[in-house]
Amino acid sequence: MKRKLQLLGAVLTLALCAGAADAAPKNGFSVNGGLISSSVTTTIVGTGTALDGVSYSYNGSGLSVGFDYQFALNDNLTLNPFVMLSGENISGLGNNITGNHSILGLQLRYWIGDVFIGGHIGGYSETVTNNNYNLSTNASGPGGGLVAGWENPNGGIYMMGQLDSAKLNYGYTDTRLTDVRLSVGDRWK
């Protein structure tokens, strides 16, 4: 978790160092891509057996892609409905395990010149696949997070870091997803 916060801090620092311009945020569609690092902790609960309370965790890293549409509410606020998808290699569950995470969410961003900070809520989902046996399992649930970044008002290029936390429902488990995404994108204005 400390490493993920350091990565998000680095993106925010880069964004702040990029400087502030007088342009207001613009409406428009964007696409972004980058890296993801995820961590999942699961505790078995409610089975009424000796398994209750047993915990395990796994980590993932891979590539992420996202899409959004930005609605400028005024010179300092935007509303961004978004979708983010990732494909990851999973460690901690065995060999040849892959995972996918997705978010359908809504961000509210506060702008200071070309720099933005904000938060979001959304629906999160996870699919974990054992490629050796072609078996997969799915979970979904609510979550939220923080976002920070910088967007060039003239060229539409932007960088952002995103920290997410979600509670996924696998049935008899208390499952927590935490991830960090670092992305570069382009907005059409």
Number of domains in the chain: 1
Tokens of 12: 């925010």
Residue 189 domain-assigned?
A: no
Tokens of 146: 């923080």
CATH code where residue 69 lies = 2.40.160
Instruction: Identify any residues that bridge with 42 across adjacent strands, giving them in sequence order.
Output: 56, 175
* Confidence grade of residue 184 (pLDDT, cut at 50, 70, 90): very high
Residue 4 has pLDDT above 60, yes or no: no
Predicted pLDDT at 26: 86
Residue 39 domain-assigned?
A: yes
Domain containing 149 equals: 2-156+164-184
Q: Using CA atoms, how far apart are residues 58 and 136, in angstroms rounded to an integer? A: 15
Q: Using CA atoms, how far apart are residues 105 and 123, in angstroms rounded to an integer? A: 6
Share above pLDDT 70 across residues of the chain, in percent, rounded to a whole number: 87
Residue 112 domain-assigned?
A: yes
Rounded to 5°, the CA angle 172-138-164 comes to 90
Predicted pLDDT at 54: 92
Q: Using CA atoms, how far apart are residues 150 and 11, in angstroms rounded to an integer? A: 9
pLDDT for 22-60, tens place per residue? Answer: 568 889 999 999 999 999 999 999 888 998 899 999 999
Mean pLDDT value of segment 117-137: 95
DSSP per residue over 131-149, as a string? TTTTEEEEEEEEEEEEEEE
Predicted pLDDT at 19: 46
Residue 22 domain-assigned?
A: yes
pLDDT for 144-176, tens place per residue? Answer: 999 999 998 776 899 999 999 999 999 889 999
